Amino acid sequence: MMKTIALIYMGGTFGCIGEPLMPMPEQQFLPLLSKVIPPHLQVECFAAPSIKDSSACTATDWLALVQQIQQLQLKGFQHFVIIHGTDTLSYAAATLARFLGHSCHAIITGSQYPLLNIEGNDTREFTDALGNLYLALEQVLTLSSGVYLAFHQQVFHAQTTLKAHTTELDAFVGIQAEQSCPTTSDYFVVQNEHIEQAAQLSILNLMLQPIAKEQLVLQLKNSLNTPPNFLILQGFGTGNIAVNDEMIDLFDRLYQQKCLPIISTQVTFGQLDQRYAISSWIQSAKVLVNDCHSHADLYAKALQMYLKYPTHEQWFAHWHQH
């Protein structure tokens, strides 16, 4: 079995230089990156198809990355480390996990500080980039197959992560890799048409506020004008939303317009629980209940359903099978 690690650079703070910080072009950065790789490891460096600030990344960028990894798998690579910006790192991680499954060993990482100094001619005096990279390179050879996120001496299941602090080194939370976690095992082979199709995906997320039901009704009516493919409603506590008949009717009208409402929660951890009377309406309404590991995982699941099945009826019917 080939033990060479494919190290894929996708941008982010990790590869930035200068003041203000700007990404170093990959042609200049990759040779410098190769110099800091521990000599006992076999590593081959690659540039991702799309290198950009991670706040600008979307599904098309991550699917192109998945496609690159799947093409490298055909060449014998089974171990992958991806360097990515931290802003959307949890979304990238969840998307990789949903589309690669357990078909390979992959760890995604990034950093809060650049690898190189301002001039870009030496490693920075203080940086978490090296530590995170070395952690990912070591762990990708020892962990069981699947996708993980490595950051600040911790490795998490990729579908469970959240960026919980804007600037601290200990920026991510999630379920630790050594803990048992039912992650996606199947893979999805990404074709060019999937990347093109993903550009059309529309998801609207509403984090509900304690406002009158009538105001929420008005917001839902606005959504009817140009409905998204998925409307995520982040309720309170275990996913509770106080509704009235008009609101339930609006959910049905959204569904008729090929929009799937999904009930989720704004609470970071824990499962949704629909045992309360306030949530009894969910059983008969055309809404889905979030059953994912994290908010980013919900995004990745919606993306996969959108690409896998052609109609909203099929997204609804197959939702809990994935």
pLDDT at 156 over 50: yes
Exposure of 127 in the CB half-sphere (CA atoms within 13 A): 23
Asked whether residue 284 carries a pLDDT value surpassing 90, the answer given is no
Here the tokens at position 72 are: 């490298």
How do residues 200-225 score in pLDDT, each as one tens digit?
999 999 999 999 999 999 999 999 99
Q: Is the per-residue pLDDT at 280 higher than 90? A: no
Return the pLDDT at 321: 86
Per-residue pLDDT, 154:
98
Residue 214 lies in a domain: yes
Q: How many CB atoms lie within 10 A of CB 235?
A: 22
296 inside domain: yes
270 has pLDDT over 80: no
- CATH code: domain of residue 106: 3.40.50.1170
- Whether 303 has a pLDDT exceeding 50, the answer reads yes
Mark whether 224 and 271 lie in a shared domain: yes
Residues 92 and 16 in one domain: yes
Average pLDDT of span 187-201: 98
- pLDDT class of 283 with cuts at 50, 70, 90: confident
150 and 260 fall within a common domain: no
pLDDT of residue 153: 97
Do residue 24 and residue 125 come from a single domain? yes
Question: Of the candidates 127, 152, 173, which is a domain's last residue?
Answer: 173
160 and 210 assigned to the same domain: no
Q: Are 55 and 88 in contact (CB under 8 A)?
A: yes
Looking at the fold, whether 207 and 124 belong to one and the same domain comes out as: no
Range of the domain at 224: 202-321
Q: What is the mean pLDDT of residues 192-204?
A: 98
Distance CA 285, CA 281 (A): 6
What percent of the chain has a predicted confidence (pLDDT) above 70?
97
Q: Which among 153, 173, 193 is the end of a domain?
A: 173
Residue 16 has pLDDT above 60, yes or no: yes
Q: Are residues 66 and 207 in the same domain?
A: no
- Residues 6 or more apart whose Cβ sits within 8 Å of residue 194: 63, 307
Residue 158 sits in the same domain as residue 233: no
Q: With cut-offs at 50, 70 and 90, classify the pLDDT of residue 135.
A: very high
According to the model, what pLDDT value does residue 277 have? Answer: 45
Domain count across the chain? 2
Question: Is 274's pLDDT higher than 60?
Answer: no
Q: Which pLDDT band holds residue 282 (cuts at 50, 70, 90)?
A: confident
* pLDDT reading at 302 higher than 70: yes
CATH number, domain at 275?
A: 3.40.50.40
- Looking at the structure, do residues 210 and 116 belong to the same domain, yes or no? no
Domain check: are 209 and 165 in the same one? Answer: no
Tell me what the mean pLDDT of segment 223-244 comes to.
90
Direct distance between the N- and C-terminal alpha carbons of the chain, in angstroms, rounded to an integer:
30
In a domain, 180, yes or no: no
For the entire predicted model, the pTM comes to 0.95
Residue 227 has pLDDT above 80, yes or no: yes
- pLDDT given for residue 273 in this prediction: 62
**Segment 254-279 mean pLDDT:** 79
pLDDT at res. 241: 82
How many C-beta neighbours within 10 Å does residue 43 have?
A: 16
Of the listed ranges 165-174, 188-197, 239-248, the least confidently predicted one is: 239-248
At residue 173, does pLDDT exceed 80? Answer: yes
Q: Give residue-wise pLDDT tens across range 67-123.
A: 999 999 999 999 999 999 999 999 999 999 999 999 999 999 999 999 999 998 889
62-82 as b/e: b if 16+ CB within 10 A: bbbbbbbbbebbeeebbbbbb
Last residue of a domain, one of 155, 173, 191: 173
Exposure string of 93-121, with b = 16+ CB inside 10 Å and e = fewer, is: bbbbbbbbbbbbbbbbbbbbbbbbeeebe
My answer on whether 12 and 132 are in the same domain is yes
- Residue 104: the pLDDT is 98
- pLDDT at residue 275, rounded to an integer: 53
State how far the alpha carbon of 225 is from the alpha carbons of 3, 18, 184, 221, 250, in Å: 53, 45, 35, 7, 12
pLDDT value at residue 10: 96
Are 136 and 57 members of one domain?
yes
Q: Distance between CA 229 and CA 54 in Å, rounded?
A: 23
pLDDT at 263 exceeding the cut of 60 = yes
